[in-house]
């Protein structure tokens, strides 16, 4: 067997076993009626900052928890704990994405009575797109400083997501960035994407995003009642 074929078979095996673990996680989340959101983006696009804003808005009314995926350090989990939310850090020690088996290992620590579980993936716009974590919704984030040409260069993250969050919109006046182009191109890749424009600095779009999350939670609970 040539080495290329061997590589394909190994990858199929990894993705196949990931899929099985992801479906068992999805089943458990469904039983506990937890809405899980997997956040994908390049490093530094503002995932943790967005979660700090969303977490602050939802806590009090809802039980919220966060899983933080990083190659090294517990820094993001510490940021989330600082705002009063439980956070579980997964350090991958080199892997550029989270896999379902990593989430499965810590799943017993996650309280069954959560309403929302946010999973911040490792900062990377490529590999995380191929790994289902059993999430209910996938968000892809792109920040204004990254440039308006990115959706078509990194299509998989946009194809597999239900929500596109354009972050750092407070920087729009200072950078050459065609907001209409980026939204148009993202929708050409995936016409079903729901688009939100946010800023963790000014708070723009946070209320709308939280209202969407609340409505998704309620919709799913009614459907599964
Ligand atoms: N101007 C501006 N800066 C932001 C915004 N959101 C985040 N930042 C800044 O962008 C940098 C990265 O933000 P993070 O929230 O740590 O990004 P991240 O995606 O979690 O990063 P990784 O976990 O390392 O992938 C920080 O310096 C933030 O202060 C925003 O809405 N506007
Ligand atoms: Mg982060």
Structure token digits, residue 195:
């688009």
Q: Note the pLDDT of residue 13.
A: 78
User: Per-residue confidence at 11, pLDDT binned at 50, 70, 90?
Assistant: confident
User: Per-residue confidence at 14, pLDDT binned at 50, 70, 90?
Assistant: confident
* C-alpha 76 to ligand 2 mean position (Å): 5
Residue 42: CB within 6 Å of ligand 1? no
Residue 121: CB within 6 Å of ligand 1? no
Beta bridge partners of 38: 119, 138
**Which is more confidently placed, 115 or 10?**
115
Ligand 1, pocket-test mutation among 40, 44, 96, 118, most atoms within 8 A of CB: 44
Confidence check: pLDDT of 12 > 90 = no
Q: Model's pTM, two decimal places? A: 0.95
pLDDT tens track for 183-202: 999 999 999 999 999 999 99
User: Per-residue confidence at 130, pLDDT binned at 50, 70, 90?
Assistant: very high
Confidence check: pLDDT of 104 > 90 = yes
Q: In which residue are the tokens 């729009």 written?
A: 172
Confidence check: pLDDT of 225 > 80 = no
Q: Note the pLDDT of residue 7.
A: 78
Could you give the residue ranges of the DSSP H alpha helices within the chain? Answer: 3-31, 47-58, 75-82, 100-106, 150-153, 155-159, 179-189, 206-224
- Around 74, how many Cα atoms within 13 Å sit in the side-chain half-sphere? 7
The domains located in the chain, with CATH, are 3-224 (3.40.50.300)
* C-alpha 44 to ligand 2 mean position (Å): 7
d(CA 166, CA 153): 16
In this prediction, residues 118-138 reach a mean pLDDT of 97
């Amino acid at each position: 067997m040539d080495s290329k074929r061997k590589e394909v078979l190994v990858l199929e095996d990894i993705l196949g076993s990931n899929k099985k673990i992801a479906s068992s996680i999805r089943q458990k989340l469904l039983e506990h009626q937890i809405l899980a959101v997997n956040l994908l983006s390049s490093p530094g696009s503002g995932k943790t900052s967005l979660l700090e804003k969303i977490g602050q808005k939802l806590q009090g009314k809802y039980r919220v928890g966060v899983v933080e995926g990083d190659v090294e350090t517990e820094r993001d989990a510490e940021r989330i704990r600082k705002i009063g939310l439980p956070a579980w850090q997964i350090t991958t020690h080199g892997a550029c994405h989270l896999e379902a088996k990593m989430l499965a290992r810590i799943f017993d620590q996650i309280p069954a009575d959560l309403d929302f579980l946010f999973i911040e993936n490792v900062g990377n716009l490529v590999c995380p797109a191929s790994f289902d974590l059993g999430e209910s919704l996938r968000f892809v984030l792109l920040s204004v400083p990254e440039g308006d040409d990115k959706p078509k260069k990194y299509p998989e993250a946009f194809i597999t997501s239900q929500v596109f969050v354009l972050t750092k919109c407070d920087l729009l006046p200072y950078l050459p960035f065609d907001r209409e182009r980026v939204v148009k191109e993202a929708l050409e890749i995936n016409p079903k994407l729901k688009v939100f424009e946010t800023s963790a600095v000014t708070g723009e779009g946070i209320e709308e995003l939280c209202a969407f999350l609340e409505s998704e939670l309620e919709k799913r609970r009614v459907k599964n009642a």
